[in-house]
């Protein structure tokens, strides 16, 4: 299975997610090497096109691309011609004219990666997070992290049947929307835990349960996924105060003590310590592991889109046969590749 774009988790389906996660396993191993680099995408160019500040996601994608030996172009709105009135479409055209193979797009408006995908003639488009809508690579790395962390604890690594609580501002969260799709596709039972003002107006078709009472769920959850709370929500009459939010929905030390010992505490970052989660709970969480896994998962996504066997790579062939960690260089030898690796 290969793709031309990764816009939504729904583009992958359960099999696609599983395949990306399998690839990620290989790339975790690459990242642990003394020289964490393979030539899989040598000659390819990946542009990170970030219209919204996001240092961590951008660095994660760029690191992933470099570890695959791709060239990296960085476009950020602050330093770009967008300030000179250039349209989004012209920006895409300009980058494509430079021979870019993949555009990793982040924008504060929902749907921009879909617009970019319509305009792009040959580059693959990766959604690096759009508005409140989706953040598919975050969801993939979250699924990956759950599997790895559970395996490390001697638990069944599959997500099927796991009880996942996603806590907080689901309404404005692209992470929540993608996680619901990904966790759901892999068979987890997801409960959204939030005051009604921080839930989307409709959950038709989401296949999730809803709770307004975190305390009643604590002992039952395999994963507690905390969402970041933006401070401006207080001014939109969605919440009376941060203090009240923390009292009702924060993962305080007292609440964390009631979690089962193997429950994973996750957060997409950046964390508001003391708001969504108490500081020492952060330190016992798997949040930094999520970040580390992010690089491997994004390597998997870029390889899936651009590597041997992908729609953009040549020659097409059965993808399962390609070993990304020792892939042959185009026109070169695999010995060379192993030497580099």
**Using CB under 8 A as the criterion, which residues of the chain lie in contact with another protein when the complex forms?**
87-89, 107, 109-112, 114-115, 118, 130-134, 174, 177, 200-206
- Find tokens 């892939």 and name the residue: 327
Q: Are 186 and 197 in contact (CB under 8 A)?
A: no
**How many residues are there in the chain?**
341
Rounded CA-CA distance 8/31 in Å is 26
The least distance separating another protein from the CB of residue 87, rounded to whole angstroms, comes to: 6
Q: Are 129 and 188 in contact (CB under 8 A)?
A: no
Q: Are 194 and 219 in contact (CB under 8 A)?
A: no
Residue with smaller CB distance to another protein, 144 or 183? 183
The least distance separating another protein from the CB of residue 114, rounded to whole angstroms, comes to: 4
The least distance separating another protein from the CB of residue 29, rounded to whole angstroms, comes to: 35
User: Strand order in 264-266's β-sheet?
Assistant: 209-211, 189-193, 163-167, 223-226, 264-266
Helices and strands of the chain, counted as H and E runs: 12, 9
Q: How many other CB atoms are there within 10 angstroms of residue 153's CB atom?
A: 11
Q: Are 110 and 130 in contact (CB under 8 A)?
A: yes
Residue with smaller CB distance to another protein, 67 or 177? 177
The least distance separating another protein from the CB of residue 173, rounded to whole angstroms, comes to: 8
Residue with smaller CB distance to another protein, 43 or 200? 200
Residue with smaller CB distance to another protein, 25 or 114? 114
* 3 state SS of 254: helix
Residue with smaller CB distance to another protein, 11 or 25? 11
Q: How many other CB atoms are there within 10 angstroms of residue 176's CB atom?
A: 30
The least distance separating another protein from the CB of residue 331, rounded to whole angstroms, comes to: 39
The least distance separating another protein from the CB of residue 178, rounded to whole angstroms, comes to: 10
Residue with smaller CB distance to another protein, 107 or 150? 107
């Amino acid at each position: 299975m290969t793709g031309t774009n990764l816009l939504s988790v729904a583009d992958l389906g359960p099999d696609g997610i599983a395949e990306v996660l399998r690839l990620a396993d290989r790339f975790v191993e690459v990242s642990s090497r003394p020289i964490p680099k393979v030539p899989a995408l040598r000659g390819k160019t990946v542009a990170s096109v970030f219209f919204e500040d996001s240092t961590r996601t951008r660095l994660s994608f760029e690191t992933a691309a470099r570890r695959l030996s791709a060239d990296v172009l960085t476009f950020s709105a602050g330093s770009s011609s967008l300030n000179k009135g250039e349209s989004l479409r012209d920006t895409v055209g300009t980058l494509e004219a430079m021979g870019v193979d993949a555009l990793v797009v982040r924008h504060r408006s929902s749907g921009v990666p879909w617009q970019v995908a319509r305009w792009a003639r040959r580059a693959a488009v990766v959604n690096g997070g759009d508005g409140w809508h989706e953040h598919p690579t975050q969801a993939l790395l979250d699924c990956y992290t759950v599997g790895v962390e559970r395996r490390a604890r001697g638990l069944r690594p599959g997500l099927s049947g796991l009880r996942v609580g996603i806590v907080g501002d689901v309404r404005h969260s692209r992470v929540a929307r993608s996680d619901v799709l990904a966790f759901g596709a892999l068979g987890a039972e997801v409960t959204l835990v939030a005051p009604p003002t921080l839930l989307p107006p409709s959950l038709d078709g989401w296949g999730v349960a809803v709770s307004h009472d975190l305390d009643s769920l604590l002992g039952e959850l395999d994963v507690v996924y905390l969402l970041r709370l933006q401070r401006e929500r207080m001014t939109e009459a969605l919440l009376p105060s941060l203090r009240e939010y923390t009292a009702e929905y924060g993962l305080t030390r007292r609440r964390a003590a009631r979690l089962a010992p193997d429950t994973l505490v996750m957060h997409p970052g950046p964390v508001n310590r003391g708001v969504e989660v108490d500081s020492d709970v952060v330190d016992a969480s798997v949040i930094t592991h999520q970040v580390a896994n992010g690089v491997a998962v994004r390597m998997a996504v870029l390889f899936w889109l651009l590597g041997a066997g992908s729609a953009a790579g040549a020659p097409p062939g059965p993808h399962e046969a390609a070993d990304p960690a020792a892939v042959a260089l185009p026109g070169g030898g695999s010995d060379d590749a192993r030497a580099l690796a």
